[in-house]
Structure 1
Amino acid sequence: MSCTPLHISTFRNPIHTNRATQPRPTSRHGSPRTSLTQPPPPPPPPPPQNPDPITAITRLLWGKSLPPQLLISTVRSTWSATWHLMMSQLAPSDPSGSYTRPTSQFRSKSSLGQSPDTALHLYVGLPCPWAHRTLIVRSLKGLEDTVPVSIASPGIDGSWEFLDTTVRVGDYPNPGPDTANGCKTLREVYKLRRGGYDGRSTVPMLWDAKRKEVVCNESYDIIELFNSGLNRSAGNPDLDLSPPSFKTRIDEWNQIIYPRVNNGVYRCGFAQSQEAYDIAVNELFSTLELLDEHLGGARYLCGDTLTLADICLFTTLIRFDPVYNVLFKCTRKKLIEYQNLHGYMRDIYQIPKVAATCNLGAIMDGYYKILFPLNPGNIRPSMPSCCEHEVLSDPHNRETLSLVENNVQVYA
């Protein structure tokens, strides 16, 4: 609000209309008489603005009323058909309308990283939970120098593209240029491999800069490689996130978490029928209840030891309230309503180097501003207060669940 200066208007005789010739009354001192009580004349109305063509046509056709029912039905049918067409490209589904995630085209063996003839380079996108896994394991194992990273940004067409420069926002990783190949898009990087490539250009992707070849684009293969295949050059080789004695339990948890939680939130958000959504959302929340109950008596999924299964679950949980709960219709409960799960997520978030990989602003942008079929207005909601760094950094007290002290293994 601004203050308007006091207007002093001159007195005008209402009897006379010829203001150009009518003499102005004066005081006995010869100066024009003024009135401090007469209000100033109203300002002239603003010039009419030309509406856009669509607004002009709608005003002409039906004024301020809603469009006729036939038009609404036609637009609705057209939008529904268009939405299904876009979703079929964004998220392929089976005949029931249930989302089916395409399989990764490039798989890797963990022994590949031991070769001295490889120069590995990691490509990621910050919104992607699968790419986020690789960033976390890379940081915990101390592989930042061994495996450089290029961070792609989601383009308006849904593809991954690189920026000319890196614009720093806090201490988080941020999108920037392709420092390995100088490409403008990730698709261009894939096409550099011998024989080219015309398939889906996904993240994460591990690239061999010496051989100009895609090593792997399956996230779990990459984190297994980072965990045990690069220990010769790792800064933290003693950390083992997949101990041999735990492999069976890790696999059992992954077989539950992947289809029902990791992929389950996508099955909710990308469902193309009510039946497919109902099945997915029921499986998702029944599994979250199971996990919350289990974590009431164990610090991590496999007991006192942080494992790859925990990393895989974490990257979905950190996105749950800001993205999946709203945009993917996972609305039955928020993660913060699960006391044990939310504390468990904060426990992992507070492990040194993990929080630095969680750029929640970029994560929200990557979903709300890019997934046009789910959010046509491209409006990003405000960050939930429970997802602010200060809240995620609140004490979790989950160390009291540990039977033995394992801080050396987790925090080294």
Structure 2
Amino acid sequence: MSDQIVHDPQTTPDEGPIEHRRVRTRTWKLPITLGIATAILALLFLLVPRPGVAVFRLAGGPSTIQLGDLSIPAMPAAFASLALLAALMAWSVADTLAYRRTRLWLPIAFAAFGVFGFLAWAGADGLIPVVSLLAGALSLSVPLVLGGLGGVIGERVGVVNVAIEGQLLLGAFNAAVLSSLTDNPFVGLVGAMIGGVLVALVLAVFSITYLVQQVIVGVVLNVLVLGLTTFLYGIVLVPNELVLNRATRFPAWPVPVLSEIPVIGPVLFNQTFIVYFMYIAVALVTWGLFRTRWGLRVRAVGEHPQAADTVGIKVNPTRFWNVTLGGAIAGAGGAYFTLVSVPQFGENMTAGLGFIALATVIFGQWHPVKAALAGLLFGFANQLQGLLVVLGTPIPSEFMLMLPYLVTILAVVGFVGGSRAPASTGKPYIKG
């Protein structure tokens, strides 16, 4: 829901000060999406009942205090969660009818209850390792969160960064090669950031300096990087695999005291360095965008470059260097593939995650924290895909492969609501 101020058509300048009236508008995207999700789960639970007991294992990780297993009857838990989903959907409908903006907690609670009910149904007579599920989801979200942060910075400054996929892929390639040569994952991480910067520099030169359409440049860069890394993989890495494609990975580093907290500690604080880097990046970008002069200039250039130019801000240089900064952050996300996930580079190993990272920017309403939450959601969908296969659910394996992308579509279409991109995103600025 949003408020718009419009001129009252019954007044004229000759009659005195112009009066304004506030027009309230509704958007039914969120209630409809919640309703569809509730209906799908209801059909699933009714048509394919799975009687039994779902065991949620809460123990795991280096925590000294280990919680016991939680056994829950599968179908009662599924239908209880369904009732809560229906109540939250009704709440969303009531907010829409009353022209109230639905709070962020409602879709988050809806997702949490929906996942709980679905896991209870899927895990009937099975074991659900909660700690490893959440820790794996957090780890998998790294390229999505860092790629999304790079996209947020680019779009906030007025440049659509469709080249996130290329930045992740070249970052993964550089990380594998440099980490293999130096036996040092930190050198690989720096190399990954340099790879992201190189792709971002090409994007900035063509879209800002030569005013080429930004989306086209991004798509071309993705294809170029895919072809380049595939060529170098076959020509350079395959013949010298033991020397150039045996990356040294980041080990898991438990944070003292914090990693001892049951459930939360092993999930959040028994991770690799690149996950902690992600925490810091999200915090710094959020603080910088909304609490510093740099952030004010970035947002001014993305919203109204003419006004920013008037007060002395150099619009195109600001865009250029911030697109480069976004590329460095996205490139760091690419390091996850070869410094955490698999210790060697493979052809097209990013598998389109850069485009999901771009979707997190839209789903997150161009806000760093919300984009990070969106990345966590998609990372959880990826991790859940593997767990459902292990649990032997009756859902076809082809659907499992589609799950992360279906979640992306539903999220962007339904949960974005009436969000608005920065006004000058995608528009080149010509001084004068």
Instruction: State the structure with bigger RCO (CA 8 A, min sep 6), 1 or 2.
Output: 2
Bigger CA radius of gyration: 1
Normalising by structure 1, we get a TM-score of 0.30
Normalising by structure 2, we get a TM-score of 0.29
Compare the two structures and name the one with the higher helix fraction.
2
